């Protein structure tokens, strides 16, 4: 009789422990699934933004190249001072 009661109590305790563990595991899996979804969503948004920025940079470089080829402007070999910038207010060359 005592052995049966002890066995039943042990079985009941194990059942409760297993059920509690299953509930905790299910909660952890749900939280993990939500966090994985949010992470994937954020990652997708960042990848789309990165792709857009790469496209914008490529378009800007292409536009700059096309403008430089279609409307070339002289590019000096070295930078010189503007000849009309200095001594314009000095009277009589003083």
Question: How far apart are the C-alpha atoms of 27 and 36, rounded to whole Å?
Answer: 14
* pLDDT at residue 32 is higher than 60: yes
> What per-residue confidence (pLDDT) applies to 4?
75
Q: What are phi and psi of 86, to 5 degrees?
A: -120, 155
Taking phi over 0 as left and psi of -120 to 50 as alpha, with beta for the rest, 93 belongs to left
Tens of pLDDT, residues 76-92: 788 887 777 766 666 55
Q: How far is CA 18 from each of CA 14, 23, 32, 57, rounded to the nearest angstrom?
A: 6, 9, 21, 57
Question: What pTM value is reported for the model?
Answer: 0.54
Q: Which residue ranges make up each domain of the chain?
A: 1-70
């Amino acid at each position: 009789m005592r052995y049966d009661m002890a066995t039943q109590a042990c079985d009941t305790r194990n059942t409760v422990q297993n059920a509690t563990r299953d509930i905790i595991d299910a909660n952890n899996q749900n939280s993990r699934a939500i966090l994985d979804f949010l992470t994937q969503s954020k990652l997708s948004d960042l990848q789309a933004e990165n792709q857009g920025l790469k496209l914008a940079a490529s378009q800007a470089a292409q536009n700059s190249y096309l403008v430089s080829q279609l409307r070339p402007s002289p590019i000096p070999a070295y930078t010189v001072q503007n000849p009309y910038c200095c001594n314009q207010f000095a009277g009589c060359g003083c």
